[in-house]
Amino acid sequence: MKPTQPLHITVPDHMSGARLDYVLADLTQLSRSRIKALLNDGHVLYNQTKVKLKPSQIVCTGDCFCIDIPNSRPMVLEPENIPLDILYEDEYLLVVNKPANMVVHPSHGHDTGTLVHALLHHCPNLPGINGIERPGIVHRIDKNTSGSLVVAKTEAAHHGLVSLFASHDIDRQYLAWCRGAPTWNQQTIDEPIGRHPNHRQKMAITDTGKHAITEALLEQRFGTYFSRLRLTLHTGRTHQIRVHLAHLSLPILGDDIYARSFNPSKSIPEEARNTLLQLNRQALHAEILGFVHPITTEHIHCVAPLPQDLNQLNQAFEHALT
């Protein structure tokens, strides 16, 4: 196999003071997770010197980096005995409650411990459905989002589910805990979403983006500090809820991409503040997944219970801020 040519990067003026992983991802169009993996594995040289580089370190104008990208290897997926929280299952499909911090399918930097590895242990016949790396996968939710996700167990079910998602004939409802409290009780967010023009790993509201509609319903205000919203997806764009809520100045708590860094002030009651400081992911949960079964035509309605961290967050807010 012909070796991959190294990438040579020089930090431009306008990126001085930014994080290393952000700069390298932006200038190479590799994902930040891929950049972090390359840094951790020692594949990035600084000024032709092999030194320990941290993704978070700050770069300066003129810094030179050489990225040696190793040749990709065929991915061999081994089943892993990882427990699954199954909300519904029959011979054609299953709906799982994915925990936060679990990646749906393998990718660079995520070669083990994904939902797919767990599914292959649970359903040995999956490998023939939807390719080698994404067997049975019809849709995704972010690594740091918990909740309902449907998986096909047969080709017919996969085809039927893909059609349902394409026509948006699926009831997908999320719960989000946001910074700020809206003055409205219900809002339809109809804003196109596409790649960010400057940061290719991010999505953004853009005139050239794809049509995206999110229905937002205020469920509870926690004083003027925070709120809990119910979001219904009428389209399924990448990071749709996160981008739409950030656009309304209601960023999801714990979102490290679309929300500014947030240090809860001491004016927030201690119980709520302490719970916030312990939150290590975005407060977004795919609670409801409803659809007509593509094979049996049965109406499927799955509700994923709140995980412990979001339940604690909600209880702390209700106790301290209402």
Looking at residue 107, its amino acid is S
Which of 142, 190, 256, 309 is catalytic? The answer is 142
Per-residue b or e along 71-83, where b marks 16 or more CB atoms closer than 10 Å to that residue's CB: eeeeeebebeebe
Is residue 165 a contact partner of residue 138, using CB atoms and an 8 Å limit? yes
Amino acid making up residue 293: H
Q: Are the beta carbons of 39 and 54 closer than 8 angstroms?
A: yes
User: In residues, how long is the chain?
Assistant: 322
Tokens 């967050």 correspond to 313
User: Would you call 255 a catalytic residue per the annotation?
Assistant: no
Question: How buried is 261 (Cβ within 10 angstroms: 0-12 exposed, 13-18 middle, 19+ buried)?
Answer: exposed
Q: How far apart are CA 137 and CA 129, in angstroms?
A: 8
Distance CA 154, CA 132 (A): 14
Distance CA 32, CA 42 (A): 15
The widest CA-to-CA distance across the chain, in whole angstroms, is 63
Nearest to 144 by CA among 191, 100, 196, 86: 100
Instruction: Burial-class residue 7 by CB neighbours within 10 Å (0-12, 13-18, 19+).
Output: middle
Lay out the sheet containing 7-10: strands in order across: 7-10, 64-67, 44-46
Catalytic positions: 142
